[in-house]
Amino acid sequence: MDMDSASSVVLQALTQATSQDTAVLKPAEEQLRQWETQPGFYSVLLSIFNNHMLDVNVRWLAVLYFKNGIDRYWRRVAPHALSEEEKTLLRAGLITNFNEPVNQIATQIAVLIAKVARLDCPRQWPELIPILLESVKSQDGLQQHRALLTFYHVTKTLASKRLAQDRRLFQDLASGIYSFACSLWSHHTDCFLQQIYARDEAAALGLLERTLLSLKVLRKLTVHGFQEPQQNIEVMVSIRSALIVGSDSPCREKLEKTIILFTKVLLDFLEHHPCAFIPLIHRSLEFAVSYVFTPAGEGVTFERFIVQCMNLIKMIVKNDAYKPAKNIDDSKPESLEAHKIKTAFFTYSTLTEIGRRLVSHYFLLTEEELTMWEEDPESFGTVEETGGDSWKYSLRPCTEVLFLDIFHNYSQTLTPVLLDMVQNLQGPTNVEDPVQLLMKDAVYNAVGLAAYELFDNVDFDQWFKNQLLGELQVSHHRYKLIRRRVIWLIGQWISVKFKSDLRPVLYEIILSLMQDPDLVVRHLQTFRTEQFLPYLESIFGLLFQLLQQVTECDTKMQVLHVISCVIERVSIQIRPYVGCLVQYLPLLWKQSEEHNMLRCAILTTLIHLVQGLGAESKNLYPFLLPVIQLSTDVSQPPHVYLLEDGLELWLVTLENSPAITPELLRIFQNMSALLELSSENLRTCFQIVNAYLYLSATDFLQNYAESLCRSFCDLLKDITNEGQVQVLKVVEIALKVSPVLGAHMFQPLLPAVFRGIVDGERYPVVMSTYLGIMGRVLLQNSTFFSSLLTQMASECNQEMDQLLGSVIEMWVDRMDNITQPERRKLSALALLSLLPSDNSVIQDKFCGIINICVEALHDVMTEDPDTGTYKDCMLMSHFEEPKLSDDEEPPTEQDKRKKLLALEDPVHAVSLHQFVYEKLKAQQTLMGDPGFGALMELVDTELVRQLREFLQGF
């Protein structure tokens, strides 16, 4: 690409690509795509984004195209890779100056330089680091900042490489520049402080940015640049300085970002180098605890800093490297040293102060939280329950996690402290005293969080009867805070320690609480079914009302979750009460078009609803089937969120369907694309195929077997052994439910099965499935087996009898691969079906056939102790409705179909020992007594003895 002529046309294309007019934009983007692989294109882009006179949007776009090109064409092995000559020129051009005036573009240039450095530094680009080090010394403020920005992104990128060789290179770099990085940070910090004292805010802000960038560089070098950082004095001095920065500085507010960054250095260093951190444990704990749990922090701390300090304490407390082994003699010296330091620090008084302050200070709801609850209770409940993205690093969840970790590790000390706080709050609380109400809420929160730790120390049943039950009945509006906390507390304890006979009382209370939409109940899933049934109609009705009343998507999801749990637990007993819900869900589905997670909750509810309704779920089809259709259609964007639950709903709908419908059959058009995905949902897809086969094999196979067979052939080319088994099981079930049609429809797959048997497939489960398929064909469709044998003999250039002999021989040899009794009996029936025969090959394999028969007889025959005779335990004479216990699920429609199918299956309809007798008798008649006797003499005498024992009475 000629630079002079190319610059103008590329510039024009980039200008057009920034247009809002798609008629102009699209052709320009296409032209730029075509130029991506042209030599010289990236040199032109470099000249464009380095030209500060051009339009900012055009330069921005040039940087983005250049950055994307690095990912695609910079590696030498990439298709259309850039030439080494052009890359050399580009590398030189990227670091000729650091004077980009636009912050956003400067950041992108720094990122793209880092991308090149990841691939080329230091071997192909040894001059990069020296030039950066020189440039950050510049007296020009802009150049210094841009060079420092680039230095940070390069360091960050190189530190992220994980191959051993790359890590060694980064460690070499770190050891060479660490002193400089320390002095750089120190210099910028000093300059920043000088400007603060001089009250030059503009200069101070610029220097603050450089201070932060240099500290970010130091962070990456400290954490990732040293294999044994404790051996480097400068590193340890740098880390120790993190424990004193910002303590009493008059410019504390300006230093908040710096302080947080230093705590990140400490946390990263602790995570990556726990042993090197051991000398810092005491000082770190002292630092964090003094600011967070003593008056020293009052007025000088801020929330993010408190969170970081709590994280530091938590990581030290629960770090596995600091815990001795159960057998002290097996402990590492470092672990013993760390444990000794922790034990010395966490004295009784320190732990007591931490425990009390966590509960009495940090657990208290703030004015902001109380106002939020009052004004928008749904949002408050949702944020508190889930945390929400904005609360990821917020104080409350961090406090609760620290409390749990501290309590778990020091429960002997902290349990009496917490119980004393509980004791001080017993009895009624003055509703006019907000401080006491907040304190009780905080203490109850702590008792709920620590439920498992307090199991042996709290008689929860007595506490419930004597204290909590009364608090739930206080109706004053200010006591809502405590009512809400108590019901949450019971929810925490109910699965830990709660007597069954108290549950009815609890259900009565829940009914009264559910009149208040602010008290969203989330703990009904712990109920006992038999005790809950008298309250089912009332609670389910109130839950439905609540679902209609609430407006927040997250709240609706939580109510739906409780509804789903109730339906799941009571199963078919929900049927009289779901009419209103069934009518409401289509409306809710329509309203939730823009809220995919709410739709996932609706799908889960529908899954349990279909299971509860059983065959009656057919009445939901006008709503249900379009929902399944949308959720499992990979051409529709929502499938990304809905697919997993949609497939589960599809499956349970089929399992509970009383009969096939055209609409239900039509949904299967979605399956081909799903099988092409080869995702983690493949197993469910195979279960859906099987469900269609059980539901209506003839209709299903006639409509979809051809496309399904093509999909299976594609899958088998690139799938694990376990995946192969899942595919083959579908074929096996098709042959089971429809032997003739199944063999015809899946004919293209059967030669591979045949070859797998002859070749002696090594993977036992695959071989077992091969033999199951071939057993079905041989036993139930002998005509098709003969044609398949003829086809395979032609393909293998062998005689049919020779090939049949190989199949029987391999079958006998691999019988041990078959572990399921049903398949073992099927193998015996299938091979016996070859008799009577005057075929010499079959007679040659007679001993093997008898061997398989005797093995199968041992598997399926049981002796009647009264008569001493044997009977086949797999025989089924009639369909019986199972008698269910209270905990058992009723059979689905598919379960019933399987039972009816089993009545027609030879495995369950044919007596094996009678079949053996009839086939041997027919062989004897064919050959005559002398010939048959000679044949039997070839069989092992012990096998003959066992066979005669099984055939007594014939």
Domain extent listing, the chain: 1-160, 527-658, 856-951
pLDDT of amino acid 666? 95
CA-angle at 756, arms to 754 and 759, nearest 5°: 110
The alpha helices in 659-681, defined as continuous H runs, are: 662-666, 671-677
With 70 as the cut, is the pLDDT of residue 33 above it? yes
Q: Is 647 helix (H, G, I), strand (E, B) or coil?
A: helix
CA-angle at 633, arms to 627 and 639, nearest 5°: 80
Q: Is the CATH number of domain 1-160 1.25.10?
A: yes
Could you tell me which residues come within 8 angstroms of residue 396 by beta carbon, excluding any fewer than 6 positions away?
Answer: 362, 384
Of the pLDDT bands very low, low, confident and very high (cuts 50, 70, 90), residue 140 is confident
Of the pLDDT bands very low, low, confident and very high (cuts 50, 70, 90), residue 388 is very low
pLDDT of amino acid 524? 46
- Of all helices (H) and strands (E), which one includes residue 327? none
Convert the pLDDT of each residue in 148-199 to its tens digit.
999 999 999 998 887 888 888 888 888 888 888 888 888 888 887 787 777 7
Convert the pLDDT of each residue in 72-82 to its tens digit.
889 888 888 89
Convert the pLDDT of each residue in 18-32 to its tens digit.
888 888 888 888 888
User: Does residue 101 contact residue 145 with C-beta atoms inside 8 Å?
Assistant: no
Residue whose pair of structure tokens reads 């000559």 in the numeric block: 85
pLDDT of amino acid 568? 76
User: Does residue 274 contact residue 229 with C-beta atoms inside 8 Å?
Assistant: no
Could you tell me which residues come within 8 angstroms of residue 328 by beta carbon, excluding any fewer than 6 positions away?
Answer: 336
Of the pLDDT bands very low, low, confident and very high (cuts 50, 70, 90), residue 562 is confident
Convert the pLDDT of each residue in 207-230 to its tens digit.
878 888 888 888 888 888 787 776
pLDDT of amino acid 598? 85
Beta bridge partners of 862: 871
Record the tokens describing residue 557, joined without a space.
């999801």
- Of all helices (H) and strands (E), which one includes residue 862? strand 861-863
Average pLDDT on 865-869 reads 70
pLDDT of amino acid 733? 94
With 60 as the cut, is the pLDDT of residue 252 above it? no
pLDDT of amino acid 232? 66
What's the farthest any 2 CA atoms get from each other in the chain? 121
Of the pLDDT bands very low, low, confident and very high (cuts 50, 70, 90), residue 251 is very low
User: Does residue 362 contact residue 370 with C-beta atoms inside 8 Å?
Assistant: no
DSSP symbol at 76: T
Q: Give the span between the Cα atoms of 645 and 527, in whole angstroms.
A: 25
Of the pLDDT bands very low, low, confident and very high (cuts 50, 70, 90), residue 888 is low
